[in-house]
Chain A
């Protein structure tokens, strides 16, 4: 019997590069993206086009260099950001939606109603360009569940292809992750995005995958904000033989090793995640 297929979304070039001390030049970004593409990574989150001219240029080059991977552009809920991503030719427009009260009230000073309205405005703009889009629930693990459900319902009604559940500050455990992912009732594809603040990004990603997530966000060497994201190699090691991710672990190790000098070129104390 064929084993179930699941898919990797690599965010080395977006969340990974946000890690202080990690900075890629245009050529380095393209080298990493081409490697990920050749390895069989389904989706590459290649950056944030709203950051400016250099980032857009890199994004366009990555898009041209990759043969199979779909290229994802990360956006705030902001039409200018989204337009920059559309102009760069992204395959998928990812819109990050703050989901917890802490994010909505204290960071954005907005109401839940305003967030739902902004999702609608963003989605309608993307649809004019006939682009696939995903909705990310930022800080979903600390969010009020009723509001999480409202965002999911809204995203579904607006025909988003994917819902990304983010454990933004890495506080889930495998059990709470499993319970949470199981609670999500939607026909949209489910994606998970785990952080490693308590050393459990891999364990939680494993748990979320078993609970039903179809897309799993990872980075090379687990680089990312604070203590990092889910380490792609480690994640695949745990689930080797359980699912088909379309990536050979052996190839990944070989190619990842070649990229080590690019990724950690500025690091004195090279991380060993």
Chain B
């Protein structure tokens, strides 16, 4: 069984964080499929009352530790992984070692399949891959490692440590037939909210998998498609990640979008063609989307012959 290590709490400044939030964040990470949570001693100290098993000495060291869960019980174990950069090592020298490979940002432009094959057969006792997202490909590298039989990956939520994105890897595993490695991803929205709370950072609207705006749809062709069958233009459902779909009106809208919105707002469906024509013209001129209030006003104007 592959190991998924989340490192979000491994480099975080936890001074202002309250234990309740940290505990909830960890609970949600375990729920969505994380095997081990790597955290600083400061974080672990803050939530120590919740941890059943582990040496008190672990709280006092400077190195990060791993939080694991077994039958609902949280345990703490020391981090014995030695970090090595693949660029500076010989794969055959990894035998019997417990290693975390770092760097790897250029791996996709190399023969990564052969490199992964050699790593898997290196005889290392434990091999964790922790690709850097410096070149925007860390999710893909970590995913391919797991799909090729790699033992362990390290990543972080929303790539906060410039690691691979936890949420993208989990969804990609699910879509690629590895559901056994994934938990309940409908908690991702809640995880995002608490992440934003504890870090003070806002996740971009269009961030893959967890962005609040990824299920907004405006284009007439796409709206027509998702209303017939959401799978046509959505690789996974909004509900599966705790999100919801929203039809937005704008210059790319078609008749189906207007009818959908009018029904949603309990408006009479008369004059749809005129309304569509006018809203598209307006949006093209001002370079903005059309809000519900804009639609209510336009419908009233059209129906009253203004």
Contacts and interface: CB of A to CB of B under 8 A. Distances in A.
A168 B140 contact: no
B288 A198 contact: no
A30 to B, nearest CB: 13
A50 to B, nearest CB: 10
Contacts of B217: 20, 225
A171 B235 contact: yes
Nearest to B283: A23
Contacts of B286: 23, 25
Contacts of A231: 136
Interface string B129-169: 00000011101110110010000000000000000010010
B215 interface: yes
A199 B168 contact: yes
Interface in A61-113: 76, 102-103, 106-107
B232 A174 contact: no
Interface stretch (B67-75, B78-86, B246-254, B259-267): B246-254
Interface stretch (B16-24, B96-104, B199-207): B199-207
B288 A102 contact: no
A175 B147 contact: yes
B219 interface: yes
A198 B208 contact: yes
B171 A198 contact: yes
Contacts of A24: 287
A187 interface: no
- By DSSP majority rule, is chain A's interface helix, strand, loop, or mixed? loop
B234 interface: yes
Contacts of B218: 18-20
B142 to A, nearest CB: 11
Contacts of A169: 233-235
B289 interface: yes
B216 A173 contact: no
A162 to B, nearest CB: 21
A198 B233 contact: no
A198 B137 contact: no
A4 interface: no
B214 interface: yes
A266 interface: yes
Interface in A202-232: 202-204, 206-207, 210, 223, 225-228, 231
Interface string A101-127: 011001100000000000000000000
A237 B140 contact: no
Contacts of A239: 109
14 contacts: A25-B284, A76-B221, A107-B228, A169-B233, A174-B144, A175-B147, A198-B139, A199-B165, A226-B215, A238-B106, A265-B287, A269-B204, A270-B204, A272-B204
Interface of A: 17-21, 23-26, 28, 51-52, 54-55, 76, 102-103, 106-107, 139, 168-171, 173-175, 196-200, 202-204, 206-207, 210, 223, 225-228, 231, 234, 237-239, 242, 265-267, 269-273
Pick the 4 closest A-B CB pairs, nearest first: A203-B140, A199-B168, A227-B208, A20-B248
